[in-house]
Structure 1
């Protein structure tokens, strides 16, 4: 029996897909919507505008021995529908985990939002030994959706 190597959570949020997408594509707002508590701030204030670009985040967590940075390579982008990135320790290539936000409009002021944390492409034995996947729980992902709902309401 194979072990599932991704977690997806979903909920409807009372906001337009455009308003939600505006929050998701601005890394300076990611700490505000992070249910894991790892994100501290972004390293610059550029909006995500297309696949293939990179943004850097300031992070903190015991799993990395305290403060650290990540480079996040935008791997999915569809205006007001989807944004995703592959995360890596700063200065390294992504080792195989990815975050994907998907938006499905349910009218002008309501959107079904799905957040997927996928580590299925992590194959490096050293990383698999060091990191106890999933590093972020379904409950923490749900909290990200709750925080996103609060962020677009305010």
Structure 2
């Protein structure tokens, strides 16, 4: 198992300041705009992400589970540089998969954005048996970066 892929990482340069990108990403109300998988429907009117330990709730949908909610536990926060969270079905604790957004300013109006989907910390045998990782494809992650670029320039 140690040789199996447990992360997918994509990067691209977006013509926007890191602060503008961070402002958008730290607002769960806008996450549906940057979801390349099509599973994020809306947020549950949670506050802006402000620190490690924050939890925000999202309304989700996919063919396998139908409509459901997730609680997203913030595991990384560095203003204008990093946002990370572990996802769990609402009302449960995270089981190990994590989303990491890294922003590297390349000047005042350009940022390298790296998005990592990491399921390396998933160790529960039941989850590993029932969930076929990766749930999200590299193409869907790349689409998230494309949608982020469009969302930041349009609003």
Residues paired across the two proteins, number: 153
SS at match of 1:7: strand
CA distance in 2 between counterparts of 1:105 and 1:111 reads 4
Q: Which residue of 2 aligns with 1:53?
A: 54
Q: How does 1:20-31 map to 2 (within 5 A)?
A: 20-31=21-32
Question: Cα RMSD over matched residues?
Answer: 0.8
Q: How does 1:119-130 map to 2 (within 5 A)?
A: 119-130=119-130
SS at match of 1:147: helix
Whether the 8 Å CA contact 2:37–2:141 is kept in 1: the answer is yes
Which sections of structure 1, spanning at least 5 residues, go unmatched? Answer: none
Which sections of structure 2, spanning at least 5 residues, go unmatched? Answer: none
Tell me by how many angstroms 1:128 deviates: 1.0
Tell me by how many angstroms 1:147 deviates: 0.1
Q: Which residue of 2 aligns with 1:101?
A: 101
Tell me by how many angstroms 1:45 deviates: 3.9
Q: Which residue of 1 aligns with 2:138?
A: 138
Tell me by how many angstroms 1:63 deviates: 2.8
Per-residue deviation, residues 48-85 of structure 1 (Å, max 9, x unmatched)? 00000100000001232x00000000000000000010
CA distance in 1 between counterparts of 2:153 and 2:93 reads 36
Q: TM-score of the superposition, structure 1-length normalised?
A: 0.97
CA distance in 2 between counterparts of 1:126 and 1:32 reads 32
CA distance in 1 between counterparts of 2:116 and 2:55 reads 19
CA distance in 1 between counterparts of 2:77 and 2:67 reads 29
Q: Which runs of 4+ in 1 moved over 6 A?
A: none
Whether the 8 Å CA contact 1:7–1:118 is kept in 2: the answer is yes
CA distance in 1 between counterparts of 2:64 and 2:73 reads 21
Q: TM-score of the superposition, structure 2-length normalised?
A: 0.97
Whether the 8 Å CA contact 1:63–1:131 is kept in 2: the answer is no
Whether the 8 Å CA contact 1:72–1:86 is kept in 2: the answer is yes
Whether the 8 Å CA contact 2:82–2:102 is kept in 1: the answer is yes
